[in-house]
Each structure stands twice: as structure tokens, then as C-alpha cells.
Amino acid sequence: MTTWTIAGSLTVVPAPTRTDLLAEPVAKALAAMPAPDELGVTEIDPELADTAAFCEAYGSPLTASANCVVVAGKRAGEVRFAAALVLATTRADVNGVIKRRLDVRKASFAPMDEAVSLTGMEYGGITPVGLPADWPILLDQAVADAPELVIGSGIRGSKLLISGTALAGLPNAEVIDGLAR
């Protein structure tokens, strides 16, 4: 069992033992990962799911949290989606790096209702684990290099604990230096 140094006051268990704390697509994707027992999950107050509130309440360092955003852009009438994961202390370069990667004229955050509908996850809990198979998952280099991270679990009532290496091993994951500013 992994010992998580970033868990603060939280009790972390191996994610496969508490799939009730994961959105359905996350639980399915987790089962297909090479070492699912190396991922942790912890229950939290859903009112504290937003990163700053979570870190303050549970004593987990902000520098060990990563946020996932769903980005959309259009090209020749086709909407293209991607997920970007950056450290919580940074911001994704949506109109530079992501726009060029999607090869679209303009990129922006996907509307909340559309992101929720397409991912099968709750707003504020969207995570790169379990996203639609055809979406690129763009990881900032700092995320991929992190030994331990706290990310969403697909629901607001829990968090996943995972390594950057495990995230970089997700299907369609691309590590991009300079994704975050």
C-alpha cells in the first residue's frame, strides 16, 4: 500500500477498495490501469471539493494538487475536445499551447453542462482518468514529474491520489512542457 505524504488529515485507501467514491467512468478506467492499487482515494466533504478550500480544510499542500479542465475548439464545423491537467498553482495556456495542439482557431473552456454530460462526471470533480477515449489528455511537464498528486475522482465527494507517472501512462496522455503558465 502506498503511503501518501500529501494527504494531510485525510484517510487514504487503495482506490479499487472504494469504487463507491468514484464516478462510473473513473472506476472502469481505474480497473484497466496497470497498478490500480497504487492509486488512493479519500472521502471529502463535497462542499470542500474546490482546490483552495480542500487544501485549507485538510492540510494538503496546494503545490501537490492538479486541476483538470475540459477545453473545446472548432475546426471546419467539428468540435474538438481535450482535457488539460496543470498544477493548481498554475493556469493552462488555453489560447496558446492548447489551441495549437487542437488545431483550432479559438479554444475555450467547455460549457459546464456539456463537460458534465460528455464525461459522466460531476463539475468540480472532473478528472483525466476515465475521459472519453478519443480525447487527448494534455499534461503539463510538472504534473508528469510529480511523485504524488491530488486530483478529482469524478465526483465532488472524494479525491484521487496518484503519481504523475501513472497519469502520463493514461491512454491518449501527452506530456507538454509549457502547457501551464
Domain containing residue 64: CATH number: 3.90.960.10
Number of domains in the chain: 1
Dihedral sign, Cα of residue 38, residue 21, residue 135, residue 29: positive
Judge whether 181 lies within some domain.
no
Question: Does residue 119 belong to any structural domain of this protein?
Answer: yes
DSSP calls for 98-143? IHHHHT-S-EEEPPHHHHHHHHTS-TTT--STT--TTS-EEEEHHH
**pLDDT per residue of the chain (181 residues) written in tens, 0 to 9:** 578 999 999 999 999 999 999 999 999 999 999 888 889 999 999 999 999 999 999 999 999 999 999 999 999 999 999 999 999 999 999 999 999 999 999 999 999 999 999 999 999 999 999 999 999 999 999 999 999 999 999 999 999 999 999 999 999 999 999 999 9
Task: Report residue 68 as a C-alpha cell.
Answer: 483538470
Q: Could you give the CA distance from residue 60 to residue 125 in angstroms, rounded to a whole number? A: 17
Backbone angles phi, psi at 64, to 5 degrees: -105, 10
Q: Return the pLDDT at 2.
A: 76
Q: How confident is the model over 152-164, as pLDDT tens digits?
A: 999 999 999 999 9
Question: Domain limits at 66?
Answer: 13-176
**pLDDT at site 37:** 87
Residue 167 lies in a domain: yes
Question: Is the entire prediction scored with pTM above 0.85?
Answer: yes
Position 4 in a domain? no
The neighbouring-strand residues paired with 41 are 13, 160
Q: How confident is the model at residue 1, as a pLDDT?
A: 59
Contact between residue 40 and residue 4 where contact means Cβ atoms under 8 Å apart: yes
